Amino acid sequence: MMISPEGYYEEYLKGKTKEQILTVIRGLKQEIGRLKNTMENPDYGIVPIVHPSKETCLHWTREYLEGARQAYAEAGGTYTLSKAEEKVADFDANMDAICKITFSIGGFFVGHRSYVVELSDGLKAYTKLWEDEEPLLLLNYDNKEPFTKDTFIAALQDLHIGEWSRRYSTKRFGFTVCDGTQWELEFEYDNGHRPVRFDGDNSYPYNFDKFQMLFGIDDTEEEDEDE
């Protein structure tokens, strides 16, 4: 059972020294990594998910970490970002400068479909299969309202994409898959920031399904239709 950030502060942070709080911060970061690694394992979901789910645990652990950083500053500490955290901070700081997003997914036998979102002037979206382009209406999966540039950026922020690894592969889980599904994601910017790219080969970030839903892709519906 998870506790509130206020409860976590009272139990684990209140009255602690800088050194003690820094130890808590390290532990929370390790827990976040462990939770994401568990959810990215291809075997995740085969057995019944115990509540609270790993996704819920991840959400609240992030809240605890934010509170721990604040407590560390209040205790007189100056927190130094790791290289991984610097990449996250850089990605988040440039969110408003994203001008184009290209997401491609598919396989050798079915081809790759690309989903393109242009954000330079409002929001324009379309799909590409081979050379054909089709307009794409992006709907917010929470309220089914059409996305605007601002609401689409906000939805991206909620996914913590800056925390994603640059490349995903099943090799880190000890096996290799031939063919299957490959994907690529690229962010382009209008402020001179160099493009940021992610890709994967039959392996995905823990919240990849939610990311795909931004483009109207709902794998859960497809699975239901196959049953």
46-101: per-residue pLDDT in tens?
A: 877 678 899 999 999 999 999 999 999 999 999 999 999 999 999 999 999 999 99
pLDDT of residue 203: 95
Measured torsion, CA atoms of residues 149, 142, 37, 65, in degrees rounded to the nearest 10 = 80
Counting beta carbons within 10 angstroms of the beta carbon of residue 38, is it exposed (0 to 12), middle (13 to 18) or buried (19 or more)? middle
Residue 2 pLDDT > 90, yes or no? Answer: no
pLDDT of residue 192: 97
The stretch 142-163 carries a mean pLDDT of: 94
Residue 24 pLDDT > 80, yes or no? Answer: yes
CB atoms within 10 A of CB 25: 19
Q: Kindly report the pTM of this predicted structure.
A: 0.89
96-119: per-residue pLDDT in tens?
A: 999 999 999 998 666 789 999 999
